[in-house]
Amino acid sequence: MLSAVFLFLVVNFFITSADSSTLVLGMLTTGGKQHPSTVNRVI
C-alpha cells in the first residue's frame, strides 16, 4: 500500500513538473505572454 502511494506521488511530481516547464518554455517562446497558445505549449 505504501509503495502505491509513493509511486503515485512520484508520478504526480513528474507530471506537474513537465506541465510547468512547458508553460515556461511557451512563455519564453511567445516573448513573455502570460497565456501562450495551446499550440506553443504542446510543441
Q: Confidence class of residue 42 from pLDDT cuts 50, 70 and 90?
A: confident
Q: Confidence class of residue 37 from pLDDT cuts 50, 70 and 90?
A: confident
pLDDT for position 35: 86
pLDDT for position 12: 98
List, as one string, the DSSP characters of 8-39: HHHHHHHHHHHHHHHHHHHHHHTTS-SS--HH
- pTM of the predicted model over 0.95: no
At position 37, the amino acid (one-letter code) is: S
CA distance 29 to 39: 11
